[in-house]
Structure 1
Amino acid sequence: MNYLFYLSIQTVPLGIAVALEFTGPLAVALFSSRRPIDFVWVVLAVLGLWFLLPLGQDVSHVDLTGAALALGAGACWAVYILTGQRAGEEHGPATVALGSLIAAIIFVPLGMAQATESIWQWSILPVGLAVAVLSTALPYSLEMIALTRLPTRIFGTLMSMEPALAAMSGMVFLGESLTFTQTLALCSIIAASMGSTLTLRRESKVEEVDIR
């Protein structure tokens, strides 16, 4: 999934690549929804992503290969959500360790073959470790725990918070500014995530009362 995404952003603008990749978790949320209220949260998330990410610019000039790679990353993400729930229930965070080991065996040789000589500099090591921890080990471990506690439709909707948080981080740490439309889009995504979570809690309470 990460490999396809990193390949895609070589030829596709980052915002468009992120939007294409998020078709995976949003598709899981959509097809896993059963009640009308679930579709409301998914639609809110989709609308928010549409206006938050820069889909309106340079779309006609998007590289088709890069777009296909981003969509492939999204498909991998969807499979990860659907299969990760069972794997997390059986093995917990150890699933991430095993998956990372298998991925390293496959993709380290590919990465070495495509890397330049600068990859062998010691100054790259701290950056590589930071990327490994922050982009793979830590988030996937937390996601694996979350998958065992949340329905896939809720998890898929909550994933739409990632680009929203990225936009907020850019505003706070990088001095980037958001337009009024993007601010409304951000609020739409937050509302979708909060709504899906609050609805889940209400469901759990009703089931608990029925059992008693």
Structure 2
Amino acid sequence: MTPSTNPLPRIVPAAPPGTPPAGQQNLLAGVGLVIGACISLQFGAAVAVQLFPHLGSWGVTTLRLGLAAVILLVVVRPKVRAWTRRQWTAVVLFGAAMGCMNGSFYAAIERIPLGAAVSIEFLGPLVLAAVLARRLLDGLWVAVALAGMVLLGLDSAWGEPLDPVGVVLALVAGAFWAGYVLTSARVGRLVPGAGGLAVALVVATAVVAPLGAPGAVRAFGDPMLLGMALVTALLASLVPYTLELSALRRVPAPVFSILLSLEPAFAALFGWILLGQESGLLRNLAIVLVIIASAGVTLTGRRAAGQRSSVAPSAVNRKA
């Protein structure tokens, strides 16, 4: 994996060196895989919201990260005994950023609609991308995203108000998303394969456990709740990671990144379908502006149009 200033969420290894250019069939398959990853991630978040009344947002976060960690540890079997102190430091910082990002995001969507939360959270990596690029054009893209936030504020003032605590939590999640970008890139450079991600998930679970353990424990007394938590871990963590890894072997990185910019739209769609969270005109326009800003940063920030690179907010990934 190589570092990237791309503002999007999950850590995904780069395609292997020497991968041939994608043909039309491969390109179409890759597009389908990326869209599938977006759908899986936001569907998993919508399922998680339905667990909040029973386990609390922090309990769901703890279970999701913990179950994903167990599955990935079994599959990857990272050789941690060979890691250096530098590698361990990078992985621990990555896991801490991941845990704080996921915990604050799930706490946000407990209070505000999914589409609005994802749109607000996108500010973190967008601002980071503009700061790292240090170009006026990237600052203008951030201004477009901020215009979307203004529309969200107007929608909240004139229509259904957004919980201010939820908005603050989404902003906090965005800040940690920016930290996730930086730390995931460092892990990508220092730790080969997916071992760094597997151990980082363990660290992330430990970070959120003090707030989430009481709720997470309740799931083990109810097979239905535990099953839904497992579905969340699969849909919101492992399935998107796998689909994106396959997609990177088929599509150019700019196409990949632009498709991931559609996540706020998918979040709003599944919030409406599964949770009954309706979006008005202003809120939909706000989401469109965030998508335009994210795609704009991607299009104007690439060093080479055909370059393939890793994408670090995720969490996925928010999100891992």
Fold-level similarity (TM above 0.5): yes
Match of 1:45 in 2: 145
Letter of the 2:225 counterpart: I
Match of 1:29 in 2: 129
Letter of the 1:51 counterpart: L
**Cα deviations by residue, 1:89-140 (Å, 9 ceiling, x for unpaired):** 3334332211112233454565332457454211122211111122233446
Q: Give the length in aligned residue pairs.
A: 195
Match of 1:210 in 2: none
Q: 2:118–2:267: 8 Å Cα contact kept in structure 1?
A: no
1:122 to 208, 213, 223: 223
Question: Can you give the 5+ residue segments of structure 2 that lack an aligned partner in the other structure?
Answer: 1-100, 308-320
Decide whether aligned partners of structure 1 residues 127 and 29 sit closer, same or farther in structure 2, where only a CA change above 3 A counts: same
Match of 2:199 in 1: 98
Match of 1:3 in 2: 103
Decide whether aligned partners of structure 1 residues 185 and 22 sit closer, same or farther in structure 2, where only a CA change above 3 A counts: closer
**Cα deviations by residue, 1:50-93 (Å, 9 ceiling, x for unpaired):** 4358543535x634xx6654444333222111111121233343
**Cα deviations by residue, 1:10-63 (Å, 9 ceiling, x for unpaired):** 5x434665555444223313322322222222222332344358543535x634
**Alignment partner of 1:120: what SS?**
coil
2:161 to 58, 67, 72: 58
Q: What TM-score do the two structures reach when normalised by structure 1?
A: 0.65
Decide whether aligned partners of structure 1 residues 27 and 138 sit closer, same or farther in structure 2, where only a CA change above 3 A counts: farther
Decide whether aligned partners of structure 1 residues 46 and 138 sit closer, same or farther in structure 2, where only a CA change above 3 A counts: farther
Q: 1:17–1:67: 8 Å Cα contact kept in structure 2?
A: yes
**Cα deviations by residue, 1:154-199 (Å, 9 ceiling, x for unpaired):** x7x9876432321234456777654443443343333323333332
**Alignment partner of 1:133: what SS?**
helix
Decide whether aligned partners of structure 1 residues 183 and 18 sit closer, same or farther in structure 2, where only a CA change above 3 A counts: closer
Question: Can you give the 5+ residue segments of structure 1 that lack an aligned partner in the other structure?
Answer: 208-212
- How do 1:53-92 residues align onto structure 2 when only pairs under 5 Å count? 55-56=156-157, 57-58=160-161, 62-63=164-165, 69-91=169-191, 92=193
Q: 1:158–1:193: 8 Å Cα contact kept in structure 2?
A: no
Match of 1:166 in 2: 267
CA distance in 2 between partners of 1:48 and 1:115 (Å): 35
- How do 1:185-196 residues align onto structure 2 when only pairs under 5 Å count? 185-196=286-297
Q: 1:164–1:186: 8 Å Cα contact kept in structure 2?
A: yes
Match of 2:112 in 1: 13
Letter of the 1:189 counterpart: V
Decide whether aligned partners of structure 1 residues 194 and 67 sit closer, same or farther in structure 2, where only a CA change above 3 A counts: closer
CA distance in 2 between partners of 1:42 and 1:51 (Å): 14
Aligned-pair identity in percent equals: 35
CA distance in 1 between partners of 2:168 and 2:201 (Å): 24
